Chains A and B, each alone.
Chain A
Amino acid sequence: MSLMPPREMEGVLLVDKPRGLTSHDVVHHLRRKLSMRKIGHAGTLDPMATGVLVMLIGKATRISQYLMSVDKVYEGEATLGVITDSSDAEGEVMETRPVPELAEATVRAAMNAFLGDQYQVPPMHSAIKIGGVPLYKLARKGEEVEREPRFIRVAAFDLLAFTPPRLTFRLACSKGTYVRTVAADLGQKLGCGAHLSALRRTGSGKFTIDQCLPLDQIEALPLPEIERRLIPIYEAAPRVAL
């Protein structure tokens, strides 16, 4: 028998998160699969969202703040004319409005106005804490409090398809950008309101969706196969300085 303790896995595992699970659910699944506790993720995806979830295994949890701070790319679908309290499909419908005749050029022009640096007011339905209380808990009680706008950058906001009332887009943005808020704001700009009806993260920093494996496939893999898929910490960490 070896006196050495069994070596723990370490590295970054790229998962395509299924719809319906919270990001922490994915952590939980992997903890069971790998029989280890030290597992985290670098950047929450809402339960309804799918796509790139950067999982940190073992010592890789240490570089979480570096991997969290990178830019993200999303593909999403906004549904015009339906406004929900959480700005996504999970929330309660607050209002429905008719969708006006919109030329694609009008939509593109409205989307262009989102480019660049800006301050975004985070939604009430978010995990941001004010005075130690998550906003969504206040929101559930029907309270609304003032939120500090946060600096974000939108590097690209492209129209992929427009079949009213549905509008699919690609959004490249900085960390901490609430995509559902962007979708709701776009709806407001177009005059009819909107909510985010589907969301898929296709990139997180240098990691892209085609490097990710769906969670159920990962769970079906033998452990050495999973270990082979781990990206070593030194490769995953972004270049901090030149």
Chain B
Amino acid sequence: MTSMPVARRRRGRLVWRNTLVGWSFLLPNFVGFAVLTLVPVVLLFYYAFTDWDVFGGAQWSGLANYRQLLHDHSFWTALENTLYYTVAHIPLTLAASLALALLLNRKLRGVAFFRTVAFFPYITSIVALAQVWNMLFSPGYGPINEILRWVGISHPPGWTTSSDWSMPAVIIVGTWREMGYYMLLFLAGLQTIPGHLYEAARVDGANAWQRFRAVTLPGLRPTTFFVTVMLTIGSFKVFDLILVMTNGGPGQSTLVLSQFIYQKGFVENQFGYASAVSIVLFLICLVVTVVQFAVNRRRSS
């Protein structure tokens, strides 16, 4: 009779202690996250409805920023370019990294070397590789156009100096840079597919393509989903690569949303307006990711 409350109290104390221990493990990271990310993000939602040039207080302007956004031609250009980049970059990177992973998942002499080579662009300084790619793409003297001319194309594209070809050029470099990283994720995914499934498929007389479709792809679904989500968010907020490769040019042909935000905020000091654009970018990413989650859930069930 008397032991019941004591036991409850003891359990209560245990829960309390566990919570404390848990929090203390989280705390170092959480403090940094709260101060450097959470607070600014929450403030962003406030500034997006104000007119603010850093100095003095932000003035509440309601939906004025969004009304301006609707009629801002540059914003729509940036949005269009961002979608262009995303739509081309995601399938390309997905296909390239999956192909690389399949290729390098075999027992091959020197496979570690090739895996390292494929991963290399991802850890190289982005400024350095943008500069080198720019030289490769140089319309007059660059080796890429030399080769194209040698192959028999008399008017090779102007790449980063042409408003039609600058986006494809940036997409090529973006894909090349990131495929190594996603290859690594796919490689990890491939290890989790049990070998006996392949054996069973082989016994049933499935050829390589059928094995790929019936065993590899379903087995990789969780990895593919994760990679797609990461790629989508990464593509929507692409910034550094474009900033150093083309700086949005020529004209506005490679201006993307992140750069538009940067320009409005840090160059023109319209922090309220830049915050509003950030909110739009955030909402786009959120909606697309939620849709992807919904689709994934329906498929797996």
Does B associate with A? no
Query: Interface residues, chain B, CB within 8 Å of chain A?
Result: none
Query: Interface residues, chain A, CB within 8 Å of chain B?
Result: none
